[in-house]
Structure 1
Amino acid sequence: MVQSNRQTEADIKASGLAWAIGRNGIYIEPDVEYIDGYKARGEIANSAGDGKCGYTTRSELAYAYAALLTKDDLNGGTFDLNGTPITQDALAGYLNSAFGTNLSYREVTAEEFVADRSAELGDFIGPIIGGIYEGIRKGVYDRPGDYAAVTGRPHQSWDDYFTALSV
């Protein structure tokens, strides 16, 4: 998928049109939406290890893309649109504080995680999700991002985001 995205970026750059490219962080909402699954397991288990992930939210992306579309000074730039990178341990802590759970994080092998995701989501999506978490483990999504440079304000903090979800 990344190769396809990079080809699309190259095509846009070669188009002769004015352009600005946003590279989304990993959406955090699926982890929030999966809270019942995490509760049932009592843990978050994936192959990210100690890797940090520059997550984002759909609402923060909407704000950033509005800026990309309306600020001419961003033309010709490629921007990483993510919040502060966090580990899976930190994610578990945020989910615990928001939902009153006692989740922990457990690292599994990449093969185990792909098998688990494939069993639940199918043989097409399972390896894609596995690849994302392998990227997290390898540090691919551990970058500060350009959110503030694009929008003129910092990305919503994870403390604020998860406090707003608290039950």
Structure 2
Amino acid sequence: MSIAVTGATGHLGRLVIAGLKAKAPAAKIVALARSPEKAGDLGVEARAFDYAGADLAPALAGVETLLLISSSEIGQRVAQHKNVIAAAGAAGVRRLVYTSLLHADTSPISLAQEHRATEADIAASGLPFVILRNGWYTENYTAAVPAALANGALVGSAGEGRLSLATRADYAEAAAVVSLGAGQPGQIYELAGDKAVTLADLAAEIGRQSGRDIPYKNLPQEAYAALLKQAGLPPVIADLLAAWDIDASHGALFDDGRQLSALIGRPTISLAVAVRAALP
């Protein structure tokens, strides 16, 4: 069985490759990357693969299972993913695994629109598939740990929303397990952390581990977006992050099904461990 992973040099892709190598011969794994020279340290075959490439089928020669890690180019994902799906069909790929978004079919988060469209394209392709609907990465929020320590507070707009966060390592392990054969054709997994937390919980954990008082300060959407822009984020990204926090405040990132821990055969990584890794 040959398994190919798109976006193999990204944060998630690298972890998936490592997970696959722990369970399967490296000779059976293919890293697909826009710049394959950046994949030299992965220890597997690397092939050039651009989601928007004109002819991607040759790069998928001999691939039986393709893990399509969703593109990072918001606004272009639907066309790029459709291109990859078509190439997979032309190359004779027997199984497609796709990283989608938690509750993509009903989520109010703006990102869900592109994932819904891609899920529909995959279903229409006729390829056997498994969908991994990943929740939010814990790292999306623990990235703010240094700023929280510098400013004496954690800020956001998620209110008391319960966030079922899981680390990239958790999601990567699930992707490796499914790429190696777990899951029935057409199965959709809703993947999220075992224990939901709030941003106040995160602030308290940062404070506990740093030995300081780090409160959580909830801001209106516009004020949070403005603060992110002042910190140097592009305006479009700042506005999106603030809007997603508002969605989270209404429960968009909550799930208590524990399908992720069941799939990987262990509890998901705790908030305490994730914060410890993020401390400067």
Whether TM-score is above 0.5 comes out as yes
| RMSD of aligned alpha carbons | 2.1
The answer as to 2:261 corresponding to 1:153 is no
The answer as to 2:248 corresponding to 1:112 is no
SS of structure 2 residue aligned to 1:54:
coil
The answer as to 2:202 corresponding to 1:123 is no
Distance, in Å, in 1 between the alignment partners of 2:149 and 2:135 is 25
Per-residue deviation, 1:72: 4.0
Q: Which whole-Å deviations, capped at 9, do the CAs of 1:103-144 have from their partners, x for residues lacking one?
A: 111111112112222333111111111122011101011111
Mark the runs of 5 or more structure 1 residues left unpaired by the alignment: none
Residue 178 of structure 2 is aligned with which of 51, 68, 71? Answer: 68
The TM-score, its normalising length taken from structure 1, stands at 0.87
Per-residue deviation, 1:91: 0.8
Per-residue deviation, 1:74: 3.8
The TM-score, its normalising length taken from structure 2, stands at 0.55
Deviates more, 1:118-127 or 1:152-161: 152-161
- Structure 1 letter corresponding to 2:183: D
The answer as to 2:120 corresponding to 1:10 is yes
Distance, in Å, in 2 between the alignment partners of 1:37 and 1:113 is 14
User: Quick check: 1:110–1:130 contact (8 Å CA) kept in 2?
Assistant: yes
User: Quick check: 1:45–1:105 contact (8 Å CA) kept in 2?
Assistant: yes
- Structure 2 letter corresponding to 1:90: D
Q: Which whole-Å deviations, capped at 9, do the CAs of 1:66-117 have from their partners, x for residues lacking one?
A: 1121234343122222212111111112222333332111111112112222
Q: 1:163 to 1:117 in 2, by over 3 A?
A: closer
- Structure 1 letter corresponding to 2:153: E
- Largest Rg, 1 or 2: 2
* Greater relative CO, 1 or 2 (CA 8 Å, sep 6+): 1
Q: 1:85 to 1:112 in 2, by over 3 A?
A: same
Distance, in Å, in 1 between the alignment partners of 2:252 and 2:278 is 28
> What residue number does 1:49 align with?
159
The answer as to 2:204 corresponding to 1:103 is no
- Structure 2 letter corresponding to 1:106: K
Distance, in Å, in 1 between the alignment partners of 2:250 and 2:230 is 24
User: Quick check: 1:53–1:136 contact (8 Å CA) kept in 2?
Assistant: yes
- Structure 2 letter corresponding to 1:150: L
**Number of matched residues?**
167
> What residue number does 2:150 align with?
40
Deviates more, 1:78-87 or 1:22-31: 22-31
More helix by share: 1
